Amino acid sequence: MSECCTYSQDINTGQSLVAISVDSACAASLQCDIYIQREPNEEPILYRRKSHPLEKADLDRLIKRGIETIFISKSHEATYRDRMYEEVCCDETIAPAERFRVLRDINEAFFEKAFRGGKLDEVVGFSEVLGSQLTEIISRNDLVVEDLLSLMEFDNGTYTHCINVSTYCLLLATHLGISKVEELESIAAGALLHDIGKRQVQLSVLNKPGPLTDEQREHVQRHPLIGFEELSLRGDMNWRQLMIVYQHHERMDGLGYPTGISGDEIHPWARICSIADVFHALTSIRPYRFPLSVSAASVVIGGEMKTAFDSEMVKCWNTIMKTTPCFMA
């Protein structure tokens, strides 16, 4: 259960509230006023004052009552995220997959808000930090890939797509032999930003349930160029990250976009991202189709191995999938 990505308001004070998933919450980190919804779609009401801190038993009782989400003031959001990161995500006694789940959940609301309405500086800076945190968890020797992948979500949200693609990129990169931490962190951050150009595409077009018109398709296919142009004006993105953004829809046979380059003209990091991007797209809920199973998606990617994707990278990806029983069911 991930965090809700919408902000609400306290009906008494008018302050903005942000949702927190109850099963991801750590009572010790919630040192602030807590709000709950008695019924779905109702305005949140005050549940517990900061002067009466929550305990784990309180969270357990909320879950038993069927309450999956609590709310805190937006002014406390950053402090809460920092505490959760320090107390849970940095705790090496906790399984890496569980740390990944918490890291994913505590960052969802902020990422969605920053991606759609925030400044580019916010999105880039946040992606650098989250990319480093993801790398620390996913590159660990004790990571059980099956446990990690069983926690993946497959909705149509921007954050779900970006964090899943970044996670897949890290898995593929490490299995391809990339081991330098700084390179993995760059790949993770670049993958989180791979669709940054879609900030300029209307949601009504991105979420359209039927076929796009030629004009709409051309508009959507400009997002790699838009993202590249935005990010290339900055001094904090390296060339390899920019290629992830610019080339992740190019194909080895030259039939991709935005430029139609082929083969070795496509940067290796972009080739990694293209597999991760298509795999997540195939296995996720979309307005126009049902998701494919992991095995069916692997067949599709394998079938295009000689034309669309780097064949050696596809073989590596399929090896990861074949050795992950929960995904090959």
Q: In terms of domains, do 39 and 95 share one?
A: no
Residues 310 and 183 in one domain: yes
Query: Which residue, 16, 45, 77, sits at the end of a domain?
Result: 77
For residue range 23-39, list pLDDT tens digits in order.
778 887 888 999 999 88
Judgement on whether residues 55 and 112 belong to the same structural domain of the protein: no
Instruction: Let me know whether 136 and 13 are in one domain.
Output: no
- 174 and 52, same structural domain? no
Contacts of 320 (CB under 8 A, 6+ apart): 145, 171, 172, 175
Q: Are 9 and 15 in contact (CB under 8 A)?
A: yes
The CATH number of residue 254's host domain is: 1.10.3210.10
The answer to whether residue 125 scores a pLDDT higher than 70 is yes
Model pLDDT, residue 14: 57
Tell me which of 117 and 144 has the higher pLDDT. 144
Pairing of strands 34-36, 45-48: antiparallel
Average pLDDT over residues 164-175: 96
| Number of domains present in the structure of the chain | 2
| Domain identity same for 116 and 248 | yes
Q: How many of the other CB atoms lie within 10 Å of CB of 213?
A: 11
Mean pLDDT calculated for residue range 161-177: 95
pLDDT for 31: 86
> Are 319 and 203 in the same domain?
yes
In this structure, the answer to whether residues 166 and 48 fall within a common structural domain is: no
> What pLDDT, on the 0 to 100 scale, is given for residue 165?
96
Strands 7-9 and 45-48: unpaired
Lowest mean pLDDT among 84-88, 189-193, 263-267, 274-278: 84-88
Instruction: Assess whether pLDDT exceeds 60 at residue 2.
Output: no
What residues make up the domain containing 45? 1-77
Of 37, 53, 77, the one marking the end of a domain is: 77
Question: Given a cut of 70, is residue 6 above it in pLDDT?
Answer: no
For residue 279, the number of C-alpha atoms closer than 13 Å in the C-beta half-sphere is 32
- The residue ranking higher by pLDDT, 298 or 260, is 260
